[in-house]
Structure 1
Amino acid sequence: MELKVTTLKEREIYCVNPEEVPIVYNQVEQYFKYDVHLEENSIVFDVGANIGLFSFWITQHYSGIHIYAFEPIPLLYEALNKNFQHINAEHLKAFPFGLGQENATVTFAYHPYATAMSTGYPYTQQEQIDFQETILKNLPEPAQEKFKPKLDLFFQNTLVQCQLRKASEVIRENNISKIDLLKIDVEKAELDVMHGFTTEDWLKVQQLVVEIHNIDNRLNVIKSLLSQNGFNIIAIDQEEVFKGSNIYNLYASR
């Protein structure tokens, strides 16, 4: 599948699905709640960058932000890298791998019709059913029948080989002295990413926003891990579209 070009905020954006772009872009604002903020020269880690819409949103609202973005799916990384060069190559750096608890090659399920759902932990049949029921339930009734066929497309996927690296190595290699905001949205691999940080690394992180799939009590496990590393849990909430599901956003800071 070749990349396409669409327009967002009067800028050309490389993508796989043009109709996915405004949906994902509008979700980005969810990360900047509960006084999560940036200042000039802040450093951001965008883990699970997809095509770079989180980073693009930041460049629309702040100046002088340094962003390190990580995307393991090869085609999505290609779009991310092109978008970074197009937006502001000086302060934005894209990496062709994801972050994990070990350096490894992992088989990902790549969802071409819903790229943001691509994952190293493919959805089980029951997870697919639960996800579809949740989304439909939270949509206005007139939109449900129209949207239902698209939900089936969302779960079509192909397997691709992707690279993962430990955050601690990336931090050391790039001489990162602080991370003003760590954003993690990695479709069920959030705990793996966090295990790639050492205790010393965590001291550099000032704010964190993470999407959590609450599998096997993961929400409480992550809360405990963050508390042990000196974070205050600001809030835990759910986006409207995920109400009633096991998907939460957690906000924490020092």
Structure 2
Amino acid sequence: MKTETAKQAGAGRLFLLPNGLKVAYQSKAEVPHLYDDIFDKQVYLRNGLRLKRGDCVFDVGANIGLFTLFVHLFYPDVDIYAFEPAPPLFEILERNVSMHTARANLFNCGLSDMEKEATLTFYPNSSGMSSFYADLDEEKQSLRSIMLNQLRKGMEGMKGLIKHADDLLDERLKNVTFDCRLRTISSIIAEKGIRQIDLLKIDVQKSELDVLRGINPEDWDRVRQVAIEVHDIEGRLQGIVSMLEGAGFRVVAEQDDLYEGSIMYNVYAARDEQNAPLEHGAAAGYQAIQERAKKQGESFYKSRRILSHRREE
């Protein structure tokens, strides 16, 4: 019964994004935050990270697919491999990719350091917090820090929410569990014959080190750029920075103002040859981003184009 509740949470509903795209969603409250991170702040293309036509992108922890759509809008011929283990989110990911005919290979699995099955704690009302390493106290502290930072920034309505923070957090962190398949990056590389991963984006709620450990030594040279959300537990941030530097990357670690006081950081890594002016992001201009996204949305709703993605087993 709990699984059905989780699946039905976002069924049949669409959210109109500021750029004119409509997307299916799991939790309505999460969509503006996801949009702000991915489309406005462009958190996965900072500190010199860039994309070009024909690149290959791994979207690890795809959630409802906003980053996959972001990449598709500006680089339609980029090969995208999107991984999402939570069944409710994967269904929504499939729907969003189908609606916007993104060129993506979708995998209903997580990535880790070995092939196995593991139990995912899924938060229907805070799906982005879902984790194979769930810790309610840590999750509550992270959400509380975000709420306090939003209050400091003067975000509308936060003062009233803070008064009821405990009840709100209890509601946001109601959860169900799923047994999910986990694979490794190197197994995907071998299976699909992937020669190069131009951007490896990882947002997997405390499983990021496992994902990196799933890259065999001989495959590291295939990875050109990395953007990771890191949870700094037991020195993990420094450990991941050192791992990436040891693999030949230039590395930058930073913390968004919204996550001040939490354990969450962003890490960016690129090979020396990637050190070039940004082709995307600020150089592209937000107005151009909005215009292209709007055109893509209008095109879909006029023509109802057919599926262009592939579901991988």
TM normalised by structure 2 equals 0.76
With over 3 angstroms needed to count, the CA separation of the structure-2 counterparts of 1:95 and 1:128, relative to structure 1, is closer
Residues 74-85 of structure 1: pairs in structure 2 closer than 5 A: 74-85=87-98
- Matched residues in 1 for 2:80 and 2:37: separation? 19
Equivalent of 1:146 in 161, 177, 201: 161
- What is the match of residue 31 of structure 2? 21
Q: Is the 8 A contact 1:84 1:93 kept in 2?
A: no
Give identity over the alignment, percent. 35
**One of 28, 44, 47 as aligned partner of 2:57:** 44
Specify the alignment match of 1:250 in structure 2.
Answer: 267
C-alpha contact (below 8 Å) 1:5/1:18 kept by paired residues = no
When the two chains are superposed, the root-mean-square deviation of aligned CA atoms in Å is 1.6
Shift of residue 129 of structure 1?
4.4
Higher helix proportion (structure 1 or 2): 2
Looking at secondary structure, tell me which structure has more strand per residue.
Answer: 1
Query: Is the Cα–Cα contact under 8 Å of residues 20 and 114 in structure 1 kept in the other structure?
Result: yes
- Distance in 2, matches of 1:107 and 1:167, equals 19
Q: CA deviation at 1:36?
A: 1.2
Counterpart amino acid of residue 22 in structure 2: E
| Cα deviations by residue, 1:199-237 (Å, 9 ceiling, x for unpaired) | 12211111100010011111111112112211111x211
Letter in 2 for 1:33: R
The letter for the 2-side match of 1:18 is K
Q: Measure how far apart 1:61 and its partner are.
A: 3.1
Alignment partner, residue 14 of structure 2: 5
Change beyond 3 A, Cα 1:156–1:167: same
What is the total number of aligned residue pairs between the two structures?
Answer: 251
Shift of 1:136: 3.0
Moved over 6 A (4+): none
Amino acid at match of 1:87: H
Tell me, in whole angstroms, the C-alpha distance in 2 between the residues paired with 1:128 and 1:18.
Answer: 19
Query: 2:68 & 2:267 partners in 1: Cα distance?
Result: 19
Structure 2 unaligned segments of length 5 or more: list them.
1-6, 272-313
Shift of 1:151: 3.0
Counterpart for residue 212 of structure 2: 194
Given the alignment, which residue of 94, 104, 121 partners 2:116? Answer: 104
1:64 matched to 2:97: no
Q: How does 1:111-126 map to 2 (within 5 A)?
A: 111-125=123-137
Question: What is the match of residue 86 of structure 2?
Answer: 73
Bigger Rg over Cα:
2
Deviates more, 1:56-65 or 1:168-177: 56-65
The higher-RCO structure (CA 8 Å, 6+ apart) is 2
Give the aligned partner of residue 100 of structure 2.
87
Using the TM superposition, give the Cα deviation of residue 51 of structure 1 relative to its aligned residue in structure 2, in angstroms.
Answer: 0.9
135-144 or 63-72: which moved more?
A: 135-144
Contact 1:136/1:144 (<8 A) preserved: no
